Structure 1
Amino acid sequence: MSSLILSACSSSEQNKIQIHPEDYKVENVVQLEQRFETLNQQLSRDYQNFKKNNAIAFSDQSIFDVQQLQTLDLHAVSRTSLKPVKQAYCKMMNDYFVQMYYLGHQNISLLSQTQWPKIKNQDLIKDFSSADQFYDFILNRYTHYRQAQEIMGFGCNLKQALQEN
């Protein structure tokens, strides 16, 4: 029994991304916007590779637009997919959101000057001020990540991912 608990703990530690806040600091708005764009491009590549390797898990084969995360529910893993596929999807998405949070949080003073496609009248400084505020922003205003989890019938626990890092 204790070896099972230890193996569960160590496997969750292996899945945790390493965050070093100083790695996320930038000097100006242009650099911040470039870093957000690089992060988005990485998610796009990761998602396309994930979708290619797990094509049977997706009912929708349209192109994933990282600039329009309000359509994330259209790109959810199927409810009938195996648990490891759902877990991998959650890890990929949670890692992206955790990195997004740290990038914005470490450069909070620059956020009001950034231009975000598809975001209007949003208080990004408030949204990135804490992990709880960011969690609410992602699940209730910026994306359809909550709906994607409902579609696949599997919770990704973004709140825990944000608090662990």
Structure 2
Amino acid sequence: MPDGYTGADVYARMHRYGGNTASLDSGQQAAEALKSAHEELVTRIARLQGKMDASWEGDAAGKAKAGLTPLLETSQQASEDLGRSAQSLTAQNGGFHSTLNKLTPMDANRPDTNDLASYSPFGASVSEKSAARWDDADKNNKEAYGSYVATTDGNRNSSPRIIRF
């Protein structure tokens, strides 16, 4: 849990956009679509290489095949990386909604227990019970958000690194 946040802060931040994960959804869909496009490209290049092997002979066939190999390997790597990206975005999206569903609505400030009834020896006062509920909600929201942060860090670490040529 990042320091300085109360459970009320967590609740407000997580509900800021009404639980809208459209950007994660779009990213996941784009990664899946690009992954499929690269898989199709790999298939087409491999088929082209097979046709060249069957039709061409000598040095020209070797050079043509060698020219396509880097494109084939790059598309294979891109497809794998995009698959991991899509999985990471799916996990992030699931983690967000799971956390959102665990959060408890609460007031921004803890109820005051400095009233006269709080000094009664005959059980907890209304204000003490309210403060205890606030404390429980605060703890719950912080723990839920802490788990979400850990998931986010894990997704960040599992995302592929982009290699620039």
Is the TM-score greater than 0.5? no
| TM-score for the superposition, normalised by structure 2 | 0.32
Per residue, is there more helix in 1 or in 2?
Answer: 2
Computing the radius of gyration over CA atoms, which structure comes out larger, 1 or 2?
Answer: 2
